[in-house]
Amino acid sequence: MESVLVAANVVLVLITAWYAWQTKQTVAEMRESRRAVVRPHVCLDLRTIGRDALARVENVGSGPALDVKTTARLLTGTKVIEQLEWATPVLRPGESRLLYMPKENPSFEYHRDQGATIDLSGSCTSAAGEAIQIRDCIEFTADMQNELAITSSADVSELLKKIVDALQRIERAITARE
């Protein structure tokens, strides 16, 4: 009878150990899930306005990118044509910022013909305090030009006219108060 009790206790200890191990695994998965919910993903994108190309940094992750520090390099082969340091305290999910790069010659066709790439590297921190490395690279290719257009030149001109009109209305309102 005593050997049955010992065997039952051993089985109970093994089952308890297995449950403890399962609980530890569950806690680790939950912790990783919480981190993933607030993990930013900062990447590089390329946009065109008319014939000009602009680099854009965007947070496509689900959490904010904190203390973002990046370096963007315009390269032809291994030769650095331009380099731009960029930093911001916060880049919200879905938020993007234009880098106004390339500056010297923003023509998309020129950089495509040169076989240029833009390389982005840097770091940021997630809301959970996790250090995240940023690394992305994009090439100027013939296929992308039509896919990249933000808006046409006419749309940009129309938008600028609306902004000027709004600023003139604000100026008139301020002048009328004085």
**Cα 100 to Cα 49, 53, 87, 114, 121, distances in angstroms:** 11, 8, 14, 19, 17
**What is the predicted pLDDT for the residue at 156?**
63
* Number of helical (H) and strand (E) elements in the chain, helices listed first: 4, 8
**What is the predicted pLDDT for the residue at 151?**
47
Residue pair 32/56 in contact by the 8 Å Cβ criterion: no
Which parts of the chain sit beneath pLDDT 70? 142-159, 178
Residue pair 132/61 in contact by the 8 Å Cβ criterion: no
